[in-house]
Amino acid sequence: MQRITTAGGPLWAVVLAGVLLLQTGCKKPDEDLGLALLPGDPLGTLVDTSTLRAFSFADTVLRTSGLTRNLVGSYVDPDFGLVKTGIVAQVRLATSNVGLNQDNSGLRADSIVLALAFELPNSSYGNLNAQEFRVFEVAEDLYFDSLYHTDDIPDVVANDLVYPHRSLITPDPFNPVAVTNDTLVPQLRIRLKDELAERFLDAFGTPDLVDNTSFLAFFKGLHIAVDNGTQVPYQAGILHINTLSSASKLTVYYKDANNQPDLGRTFDMLMNSNCVRYTVLERDRSQALSPAVEQALQDSSAPAPLLYLQTLGGSRAAIRFPGLAAYADQRLALAKAELVLPIAGTYYPYYPPPSLLFLFRQVNGSDQFLPDESQGIGGIGGTFNTTAQEYRFAITRYVQGVMNGSIPDNGVELVTSSNGVSANRAILNGPDHPDHPMRLELTFTTY
């Protein structure tokens, strides 16, 4: 612990130095804290850069069902290794009693296309190289009231549904798609085998298409995946899919030989908020160019020059504040506490750090807000400062609670934002970094 003090000079210099430190040390100061402790006489100000201990650790599997976005694609991160994601989703009928009481003998399939609308403007993480897509029919029931996680890989029918030679697709989230006379939002369009289209048309007018309960027993859902083989670092990426978009759907294009045979018709099966939708994940850290992440996750007692954060249940960081209780008996009033987390070096532009990090404390095994987050998550800061290349958290109330014993002294955990809907990651300087370590800045007023 290194204490910055001013000794031997006039008291006004101490106060002036403290004011300058207060003005430049924090983006979101807790200005109301500690003011009642200041007597009328001039006071000195002390800034203490407190000692920290930290380590990275593997996160648990993550729930991804019912979220705002789903992910499909794969890439090899030089630090974190392979990340491969896929989407499991139901599709539902747009109307009931499809084909009921009509002559369906002339229905002829033209094609069937799975459309997956990109989430805009944040449409991907990584590069936009071509990827090999695979689509499988789910072979088990999916339940809307169940929770699904990244490791809930469903049973599927082994036959790949993608139309021959149509699996290699270069994603283009920046341009609309022209289909016949329509202009559609940017999307992946995966053509599936005609046999599937014929299967749906054969079901017209049958009990299988009477309602969605019957339909989901007939066709349980889709597992959308990629199979890119061996990839080199920085190749391809994870695509962000808006499965709540009206453009995300399965469409059969067909004609009726018995009724206006030249008229093109469509039969839509929709993805929407009533569907089971979740992201599955495969991770292989052994494909990283360096074993540093794997080693850091295996030994929480080792020095931590770097900390590793990764979404989708990848990794978190734990931060401990040894010695805070020692301030309880000192005649010092805590005016401000800031946790400063510098980014480690430079980063690949298509693997940017998350725009926001979150701090939690563990209470009975669950994540709980810090008292500084009384106005909601993110209220204590944690936004990435692109100029300073760092994150800052104002945690004055939390530190005060630890110092006076009202909050257990068991530290906090650091998590990336968008944990279930993004593949982002960050490498931070830890407390043992030789040049620019993370730090806890404590500003006290003496009394």
Nearest to residue 70, comparing CAs of 400, 444, 423, 427? 423
Q: Of all helices (H) and strands (E), which one includes residue 298? A: helix 292-298
Gap between the Cα atoms of 190 and 170, Å rounded: 11
DSSP 8-state code for residue 30: -
Cα Rg, the chain, nearest whole Å: 28
DSSP 8-state code for residue 325: G
SS3 198: helix
Dihedral in degrees, nearest 10, Cα atoms 341, 346, 348, 351:
0
Cis ω before 371 (30° cut-off from 0): no
**What pLDDT does 367 receive?**
85
Gap between the Cα atoms of 242 and 38, Å rounded: 53
Query: In this model, does residue 119 exceed pLDDT 70?
Result: yes
Please report, rounded to a whole number, the percentage of residues in the chain having pLDDT higher than 90: 76
Gap between the Cα atoms of 180 and 177, Å rounded: 10
Residues 406-436 have pLDDT tens digits of 898 899 999 999 999 999 999 999 999 999 9
| Residue 173 Cα distances to 46, 74, 130, 372, 421, angstroms | 52, 16, 13, 39, 17
Average pLDDT of span 113-140: 97
Answer for the pair 117, 69: CB distance below 8 angstroms, yes or no: no
Gap between the Cα atoms of 317 and 58, Å rounded: 9
Which tokens go with 205?
């007018």
> Model-level pTM?
0.85
* 446, β-bridge pairs: 332
* 76, β-bridge pairs: 82
**What pLDDT does 26 receive?**
39
Lowest mean pLDDT among 7-11, 73-77, 104-108, 320-324: 7-11
Nearest to residue 116, comparing CAs of 86, 94, 146, 93? 86
Gap between the Cα atoms of 391 and 355, Å rounded: 9
**What pLDDT does 278 receive?**
98
Q: Which residue has the higher pLDDT, 31 or 128?
A: 128
Answer for the pair 425, 310: CB distance below 8 angstroms, yes or no: yes
SS3 219: coil
**Angle CA(252)–CA(253)–CA(258) in degrees, nearest 5?**
115
Q: Which residue has the higher pLDDT, 33 or 153?
A: 153
Sign of CA pseudo-dihedral 240, 243, 247, 249: positive
Q: What is the distance of C-alpha 406 from the center of its chain?
A: 33
**289 — pLDDT class (breaks 50, 70, 90):** very high
Q: Which residue has the higher pLDDT, 306 or 323?
A: 306
Gap between the Cα atoms of 117 and 184, Å rounded: 9
Q: Give the pairing type, strands 315-320 and 366-368.
A: unpaired
Answer for the pair 441, 337: CB distance below 8 angstroms, yes or no: yes
**What pLDDT does 375 receive?**
64
**What pLDDT does 48 receive?**
65
Gap between the Cα atoms of 111 and 169, Å rounded: 17
Residues 173-224 have pLDDT tens digits of 999 999 988 899 999 999 999 999 999 999 999 999 999 999 999 999 999 9
Sign of CA pseudo-dihedral 35, 37, 42, 43: negative
**46 — pLDDT class (breaks 50, 70, 90):** low
